[in-house]
Structure 1
Amino acid sequence: MTSSIDSLGERERRTVLITGASRGLGRELATLYEADGWRVIACVRGSASVDGGIETQSLDVSDPASITALGRTLEGVAIDVLINNAGIRGDTGGLSTLDGGDFVEVMRINALAPLLLVQALRANLLAGESRVVANISSRAGSLAEGTLDDDDGDYAYRCSKAALNMATVKLAQDLRKDGITVLSLHPGWVKTDMGGDEAQVPVATSAAGLKTMIDGADMADSGSFRGYDGRRISW
């Protein structure tokens, strides 16, 4: 694990912190940003690693103490972009298999952890230049569009992403005075372990689109819900 202490050389580059970066979309985003010359802080569980010279930090987003510890480790490190990507699907069997423990765990990881990360890294974002928080949400969490073309029984996942969308709106309001832009972003039905074999969007396509959205975001976009392709999604 490499040092996270800033230097003059490091601050010549913009810095992005990505959660859930050991595989799938998070890993692809880390690779894209590193190739674009950014300093990448890739947060992973346990001893997982990311290819190349990407810096890693251990983080269990299900554990508030781990999030607090990350904030202490990165004290004084300017962060330009925070990408809250880590997430889980949970049970998909519908009402008949709904389990309280599973539901709470999905909510803890998908909805609460992004809020705790912003809380822990707020000073880091204020020290950055871009000042963007990107919450990787899902169209599945849209009350207007989330069930238009599928009937999957993923109660916990859908509820967690709806909660994350409200968190985006609240954070956008609270952090506007700090000049921090907060986005909810739908990555599409991505061909990852979570997306499954029938998914339609290549992970490279989704990550590239998300990076374009994040890098071009400003305060006029704060509190919005957009797809990786730029389409506005109804709440």
Structure 2
Amino acid sequence: MKSVLITGANRGLGLGMVNYLIKQNKAQNIFATCRKPSEELNQLAQQNKHLHILQLDVKNLESFNDVSSQIGKVVGSDGLNLLMNNAGVTTKFTKLPLVKAEQLLENLTVNTVAPIMLTKSLLPLLKQAAESNSDKPVGAQRALVVNMSSVLGSIAQNDQGGFYPYRCSKAALNAATKSMSIDLKKDNILVASMHPGWVKTDMGGKNAPLDVETSIAGIFATIEKLGEEDSGKFLQYDGTELPW
């Protein structure tokens, strides 16, 4: 891949993705967006000239076109090969009597609205990548959008209830993934939702069974195998297909 954009890259899974791509030498240009870069992300950027940190609050939808313009100046006619819509928020386990409208709205804005609108802003760059790599099969080498979802967004597997803000936002993101996969098929842009597993991060908590490195290695191994027939699927980090 020539270029990758990762949102929410200052910690957790996003930072793990940046580390993985650098160590594995998997991308010529890595764009890492976050509200405020962590010390570790800044150090990585100082050591790697191909890592570009872009300030972005995904709730500031009006800034997306500017971010797209900044990326475009770096990648030129090569476009953007891989968009990882990773930035997300969650709320604690919430039963119906305790759910708050502001929680629902924040989760929907960050987890659903932002990935849709950012993909829209970056669409010209994704199309450029798909066109400039027309000799390659549909997938990450050409143009791919990965929406980082969650098994909690699976309606079929919901046997616990609760988690209204997070579940609803991720189920809606999955619906967006399916529509994107249909709308962008003619442009040879593949789109998939991915569940990273339950990972030891600030969001996942210390009781999670997976470490960041295992999840990230699985995510990118799965990404590299994705083909045209996988567009619109909901996949786990290890490639297992999940029910909607």
Question: Do Structure 1 and Structure 2 share a fold, with TM-score over 0.5?
Answer: yes
Provide structure 2 residue ranges, at least 5 long, that are not aligned to the other structure. Answer: 134-141
Query: Aligned partners of 2:185 and 2:193: how far apart in 1?
Result: 15
Say if 2:145 and 2:190, in contact at 8 Å, map to a contact too: yes
The structure whose residues are more often helix, as a share, is 2
Match 2:3 to one of 8, 12, 15: 15
**How far apart are residue 35 of structure 1 and its match?**
2.0
Aligned counterpart, 1:106: 107
Q: Which amino acid aligns with 1:205?
A: T
**How far apart are residue 195 of structure 1 and its match?**
0.3
Aligned counterpart, 2:209: 200
Say if 1:60 and 1:67, in contact at 8 Å, map to a contact too: no
Aligned counterpart, 1:226: 235
| 1:79-116 C-alpha deviation (Å, 9 max, x unpaired) | 11000000000243321221111210110000111111
Q: Which amino acid aligns with 2:10?
A: S
Aligned counterpart, 1:62: 59
Query: Aligned partners of 1:47 and 1:193: how far apart in 2?
Result: 16
Query: Aligned partners of 1:68 and 1:94: how far apart in 2?
Result: 38
Query: SS of the counterpart of 1:75?
Result: helix
Aligned counterpart, 2:12: 24
Any residues of structure 2 matched to 1:74-223 within 5 Å, and which?
74-76=71-73, 77=75, 78-128=79-129, 129=133, 130-145=142-157, 147-148=158-159, 151=160, 153-223=162-232
Query: Aligned partners of 1:116 and 1:68: how far apart in 2?
Result: 10
Q: What is the number of equivalent residue pairs in this alignment? A: 220
Match 2:33 to one of 19, 23, 43: 43
Q: TM-score, normalised by structure 1?
A: 0.89
Query: Aligned partners of 1:220 and 1:56: how far apart in 2?
Result: 33
| 1:189-224 C-alpha deviation (Å, 9 max, x unpaired) | 111010012111111111110111112212111000
Say if 2:11 and 2:38, in contact at 8 Å, map to a contact too: no
Flag the 1:72–1:229 CA change in 2: closer, same or farther, 3 A. Answer: same
Q: Which amino acid aligns with 2:147?
A: N
Could you tell me the percent identity over the aligned residues? Answer: 38
Aligned counterpart, 1:8: none
Say if 1:137 and 1:185, in contact at 8 Å, map to a contact too: yes
Runs of 4+ aligned structure 1 residues displaced above 4 Å come to: none
